[in-house]
Chains A and B, each alone.
Chain A
Amino acid sequence: MLKITIGQYYHANSFIHRLDARMKLLCTIIFITVLFFVGNFLGYALAAVYLAIVIMASKVPPKYLFRGLRAILFIIVFTTFLNVFFTQGEDILFAIGPVQITLQGLLNAARMATRLVMLIVGSSILTLTTTPIQLTDAIEFSLKPFKKIGVPAHEIAMMMTIALRFIPTLIEEMDKIMKAQMARGADFDTGGLIKKAKSLVPLLVPLFISSFRRADDLALAMEARCYRGDVGRTRMKQMKLAMRDYKALAVMTIFVALIFALEYLARIWGIW
């Protein structure tokens, strides 16, 4: 409970971990975008191989990666169901009353499910190998161009950093308060909806109070250290692109090129 980090950063020393967060963010976005262009199974196979190589290079046990899938299992099942039963198509495999199962439906379902799984696994690699702080730095960096049109990039990043920093603290605090109330006979598990909602009061009131106190303390501590926002602020850890980042980008580019080549060939050859 104590050391929960959002996105579950998995500490290891790997090539992927050492990559610049900005490069990882860029590559992840490219990967996810590319996934939506892939329509044939060769392309998916290539993407799967690519993903597998990245996973191996990241030294994150696959168990952690696939844990994230549990949360969206319902969505996967649901979209698969919709696709299987409600896709119109010519090649009807069999029909039960008005419901038809078509070849197109099955193919669509398979595509969608693969896409979703890869999307989640792909973005999990980013969060598993990048500390939340590095990630927000990367996000701040990529939001910078939008500053001109009034996007408060620094403030957004600072808010995210603080939120991320305090999520484990709040969870710990909640755990403590919950236990303290349970020791006084509070019951968070049983009863109907209204009773359950009511039972949250002894948990939420102290939690809110302590959050406000923490926010106050933090604001004071930041001011005491002369925090004035973005202007003239330097970083302790400068982000610098290294050779490996360019290598990663090169690999990514080759991957994208291959995907599009395959897609083109698939169109010509008429592969699904």
Chain B
Amino acid sequence: MSIKISNLSHTYSKGTTFEKKALDDINITIERGEFIGLIGHTGSGKSTLIQHLNVLLRPDTGSIIIDGEDIHADKGRLKAIRSKVGLVFQYPEHQLFEMTVFKDVAFGPANMGIAEDETRQRVEDALAIVGIPPELHEKSPFELSGGQKRRVAIAGVLAMKPEILVLDEPTAGLDPRGRDEILGRIKEMHEKLKLTVILVSHSMEDIARLVDRIFVINHGKIALFGPPAEIFAQTQQLETIGLSSTQAAYVAKHLQEKGFKLPDGIYTVDGAVTEILKVVRG
């Protein structure tokens, strides 16, 4: 049971002067229940890649097999695939349209043809997960703050109960507390429900804290992949493609250069604290 992306290429505006090869021969395999981080600089093709995962874009060449099914094969299966793969867009608050928060979150489940009681339950659960209190349920989504809107929009996807959750920079522009809260909830769901999560983020700190495995994408190609400890140790490579390692990794590296006997593979703050304390206390 997995997501298998093979030889995926995608070119925008093919055959015009604005032709742009956004993805170039991508090969990725993701196992069920993994928490994946996808990083890359602006315009590297992250959003393009994840839009293929629920058939919003079609590949020029290559295929995506999810649980043994080629998702681009059968148009009749679109809805089923889109409810299985939940995609939270970059700035999802721009998609809100209903009269009330509740109705907006119910839009997805209603489209899936889910019964009313069940929809009600799902909406309430989803809004609880993202931390929207019940007194806001009947408000207009346009009266909420930016951060609250974002949460409602995320709930709109969660209410569809996807098995694979894909998030495109879900915390861009949120305050640190809101960011930690939302990411914490997602991590929780990942652990409790064995949800497969693919997180696109520009925050190396968030990625380092959360994910099991990282794919680094550069100019539409997979440049590096592996567990965070491996990826964040390759400071040089990350920097040449316009990214960086985590703060903690840099601190650890500087300390090593200054002669501290720290082990390799430190990339989170917690990890760094433990290791440094070990050295300092002997």
Contact = CB atoms under 8 A, between A and B. Distances in A.
Interface stretch (A71-79, A118-126, A177-185): A177-185
B142 interface: yes
Interface string A197-211: 000011001100110
B157 A183 contact: yes
Contact of B89 (A11, A176, A209, A210): A176
Contacts of B86: 183
B17 A210 contact: no
Contacts of A173: 94
Contacts of B248: none
Contact of B95 (A3, A201, A206): A206
A185 B97 contact: no
Nearest to B54: A183
Interface in A181-233: 181-187, 201-202, 205-206, 209-210
Contact of A180 (B18, B20, B89): B89
Given A180-B94, A183-B89, A184-B107, A2 B18 contact: yes
Interface string A1-28: 1110000001100000000000000000
A189 to B, nearest CB: 10
Interface residues of A, number: 23
Which of B12, B17, B20, B54 counts the most A-chain CB atoms under 10 A from its CB? Answer: B17
Nearest to A175: B56
Nearest to A12: B17
Contact of A183 (B17, B20, B82): B82
B107 A2 contact: no
Contact of A2 (B12, B94, B97, B157): B12
A210 B97 contact: no
Given A202-B97, A206-B97, A210-B94, A184 B13 contact: no
B56 A183 contact: yes
Given A1-B13, A202-B97, A182 B108 contact: no
B95 A177 contact: yes
Contact of A184 (B12, B20, B111, B142): B111
A210 B97 CA distance: 11
Contacts of B94: 173, 176-177, 180, 206, 210
Contacts of A201: 97
B3 interface: no
Nearest to A61: B17
Nearest to B153: A180
Nearest to B80: A185
A179 B108 contact: no
A42 B87 CA distance: 62
B: contact size bracket: 20 to 34
Contacts of B83: 185
A2 B19 CA distance: 10
B17 A10 contact: yes
B79 interface: yes
B12 to A, nearest CB: 7
A11 B17 contact: yes
A183 B18 CA distance: 26
Given A3-B13, A176-B89, A205-B97, A184 B18 contact: no
A2 B47 CA distance: 14
Nearest to B56: A179
A185 B95 contact: no
Contacts of B79: 185, 187
A4 B108 CA distance: 31
B11 interface: no
B92 A202 contact: no
A187 B79 CA distance: 9
Contacts of A205: 97
Nearest to A183: B87
B156 A184 contact: yes
Interface string B119-158: 0000000000000000000000010000000000000110
B95 A180 contact: yes
A256 B157 CA distance: 64
A84 to B, nearest CB: 36
A248 B47 CA distance: 48
Nearest to A64: B16
Contacts of A11: 17
B203 interface: no
Interface of A: 1-3, 10-11, 173, 176-177, 179-187, 201-202, 205-206, 209-210
11 contacts: A2-B13, A2-B20, A3-B13, A179-B89, A182-B56, A185-B83, A185-B108, A202-B95, A206-B96, A206-B97, A209-B142
Given A180-B94, A186-B111, A201-B97, 14 more contacts: A2-B12, A2-B18, A176-B89, A176-B94, A180-B89, A182-B56, A183-B82, A183-B87, A183-B89, A184-B95, A185-B83, A185-B160, A202-B107, A209-B142
